[in-house]
Amino acid sequence: MSMDTGLLDKILHETIDVIERSKEQIFEIAESARSECRRMEKEVKEIKEQTLRIIEEVDHWEIEERKARRRLMRVSKDFQRYSQEDIRQSYEEAHNLQMKVAVLREKERQMQAKRTELEISYANMVKTAEKAEKLVTQVGVAMSYLSSNLQNIWEEIEKLQQQQQIGFAIIKAQEEERRRIARGIHDGPAQSMANVVLRAEYCEQLLDKKPELLREELRALKDFTRSNLEDIRKIIFDLRPMDLDDLGLVPAIKRYATDFAGKYQIHVEVNLLGEPRRYTPAMEVALFRIMQEALNNVWKHSRAGEVKIIVETTPLAITMAIKDDGIGFNVDQKQPSQCFGLRGMREWAAILRGTLRIASAAGKGTSITVKIPVEEVQP
Ligand SMILES: Nc1ncnc2c1ncn2[C@@H]1O[C@H](COP(=O)(O)OP(=O)(O)OP(=O)(O)O)[C@@H](O)[C@H]1O
Ligand SMILES: [Mg+2]
């Protein structure tokens, strides 16, 4: 899963990079199209001016050429006034002017063609620049839309992944708990039931052979069965503290503490700071289990006379502290591998992204503080 999301993350970021680079390229195209437009605009203006000048020139030389032609006509008709040489000169002049006008006209034609061509290219270039500019804005919009969406997607994925990890850890913890309970049933009630069967058979035999002993044996069997019933109730409670569902976390803790105090003659005080709230089932069970194991340890190891449980709720987190006034222990000392209690507490806290602190010193009592952030509050 983490590898998949890593890959996905890479793909998403590469996609954004590619789009970002494309945006830059389109921007460059738009820039060069714009400067090309400016250059062409100048060229069009120049060629227009040149064309105007050449038209004026053509007009001018056409007039001159007409004049020359009229002069040639006059000269060639009036033999008396003009010599052969005059006629030749006039003819040459007219001819030269005619040539000049023809050349200029050709130049004008070429210039006009060039101008039209340039104007078409210019119009196209303007269109290209406009298109590129529009694309830049569109890509920009798409980009911001996409990156904010990808960001959301990424956050969603991360959230899902976290939830999945919590789910896996809870399943693992539950599996472990089931194994422990199964072992408990196997070693406890299952064996006891086998025992009950044997003892019932013994009662049958007594009925025939020594009925005077039967009453005593039946009473013993009854006591034995009753104590087994007690064990079974405990196992059922271990499976799921029903109070949690019915009452919520703090009342369930209070009830458990009252039972505990009654059973082991250790005074327990439970205080709630803040509003009573409901949390996710996983959180409630985890906190309950931690409290249970802490009290268990108090009874097993601390020789305490008093325990204080303080639960503090805020909208962001729930904190629970369990303090005893017992003998304490060295927290830094490595616990033997068969000790599951403290390790289990830490695991529960870690599963829910919380923290667990143990403070203890010889003769100074022990306090266990667990803080779990509230992710979602169930109504
Ligand atoms: N409240 C306490 N007061 C004094 N010592 C404690 C207390 N809690 C824990 N300890 C010490 O820390 C050790 C580890 O506790 P932990 O709950 O992990 O294991 P355990 O209680 O010995 O066994 P398990 O919980 O697996 O049945 C205990 O053996 C005990 O020495
Ligand atoms: Mg323990």
Question: Could you tell me the pLDDT band of residue 261, with boundaries at 50, 70 and 90?
Answer: very high
Report the nearest-CA residue for atom 20 of ligand 1: 339
Dist. CA 313 → ligand 2 center (Å): 26
pLDDT at 363 over 80: yes
Point out the least confidently predicted range of 32-36, 97-101, 238-242: 238-242
Q: What is the mean pLDDT of residues 291-301?
A: 96
Dist. CA 289 → ligand 1 center (Å): 15
Q: Which of 291, 339, 345, 358 to mutate to test the pocket of ligand 1 (most atoms within 8 A of CB)?
A: 339
3-state secondary structure of 359: strand
pLDDT for the residue numbered 257: 95
Dist. CA 229 → ligand 1 center (Å): 27
Q: Which of 176, 300, 331, 367 to mutate to test the pocket of ligand 1 (most atoms within 8 A of CB)?
A: 300
Q: Are residues 94 and 72 in contact, defined by beta-carbon separation less than 8 angstroms?
A: yes
Ligand 1 neighbours by CB, cut-off 6 Å: 297-298, 300-302, 324, 326-329, 335, 339-343, 366
The CA–CA distances, whole Å, from 56 to 52, 65, 105, 106, 113 equal 6, 14, 11, 14, 17
pLDDT for the residue numbered 5: 64
Report the nearest-CA residue for atom 1 of ligand 1: 298
The CA–CA distances, whole Å, from 363 to 265, 327, 328 equal 20, 4, 5
Q: Are residues 369 and 319 in contact, defined by beta-carbon separation less than 8 angstroms?
A: yes
Among 276, 288, 294, CA closest to 239: 288
161, burial (CB in 10 Å: exposed 0-12, middle 13-18, buried 19+): middle
pLDDT at 220 over 90: yes
Q: What is the mean pLDDT of residues 10-26?
A: 83
Q: What is the mean pLDDT of residues 297-323?
A: 96
- Domain 242-379 adopts which CATH fold? Heat Shock Protein 90 (3.30.565)
Tell me the C-alpha distance between 342 and 284, whole Å. 18
Among 48, 57, 60, 59, CA closest to 111: 48
Ligand 1 nearest atom to the CA of residue 343, by list position? 18
pLDDT at 234 over 90: no
Dist. CA 257 → ligand 2 center (Å): 17
Ligand nearest to the CA of 298: 1
* CATH architecture assignment, domain 2-165: Orthogonal Bundle (1.10)
Give the residue with greater pLDDT, 228 vs 153.
228
Dist. CA 44 → ligand 1 center (Å): 94
pLDDT for the residue numbered 79: 82
The CA–CA distances, whole Å, from 135 to 32, 123, 128, 304 equal 14, 18, 10, 76
Task: Kindly give the residue spans of alpha helices, DSSP state H, lying in 242-339.
Answer: 242-247, 249-264, 281-297
pLDDT for the residue numbered 378: 45
Dist. CA 342 → ligand 1 center (Å): 7
Q: What is the mean pLDDT of residues 118-126?
A: 90
Q: Which of 179, 264, 290, 297 to mutate to test the pocket of ligand 1 (most atoms within 8 A of CB)?
A: 297
Tracing tokens 């000269």 back to the chain, one arrives at 75
Question: Could you tell me the pLDDT band of residue 141, with boundaries at 50, 70 and 90?
Answer: confident
Question: Could you tell me the pLDDT band of residue 221, with boundaries at 50, 70 and 90?
Answer: very high
Which segment, 90-99, 128-137, 303-312, is predicted with the most confidence on average?
Answer: 303-312
Report the nearest-CA residue for atom 19 of ligand 1: 339
Q: Are residues 269 and 309 in contact, defined by beta-carbon separation less than 8 angstroms?
A: yes
Ligand 1 nearest atom to the CA of residue 366, by list position? 1
**In the chain, where are the structural domains located?**
2-165, 242-379
pLDDT at 198 over 80: yes
Q: What is the DSSP letter of 329?
A: -
In one-letter notation, the amino acid at residue 245 is D
Q: What is the mean pLDDT of residues 37-58?
A: 91
pLDDT at 24 over 90: no
Give the residue with greater pLDDT, 9 vs 116.
116
pLDDT at 377 over 50: no
Point out the least confidently predicted range of 43-52, 143-152, 258-267, 318-327: 143-152
Ligand 1 nearest atom to the CA of residue 335, by list position? 14
Dist. CA 296 → ligand 2 center (Å): 6
pLDDT for the residue numbered 217: 92
pLDDT at 372 over 80: yes
Dist. CA 312 → ligand 1 center (Å): 25
Ligand 1 nearest atom to the CA of residue 340, by list position? 26
pLDDT for the residue numbered 181: 82
In one-letter notation, the amino acid at residue 209 is K
Point out the least confidently predicted range of 8-12, 129-133, 188-192: 8-12
Dist. CA 43 → ligand 2 center (Å): 92
Q: Distance between the two ends of the chain, CA-based, in angstroms?
A: 31
The predicted-structure confidence for 275-291, as pLDDT tens digits, reads as follows 888 888 888 989 999 99
Q: What is the mean pLDDT of residues 4-27?
A: 80
How high does pLDDT run on average in the chain?
A: 88
The DSSP line for 219-269 is: HHHHHHHHHHHHHHHHHHHHH--HHHHHH-HHHHHHHHHHHHHHHHT-EEE
Ligand nearest to the CA of 325: 1
pLDDT at 2 over 70: no
Give the residue with greater pLDDT, 47 vs 15.
47
Point out the least confidently predicted range of 156-170, 189-203, 295-309: 156-170
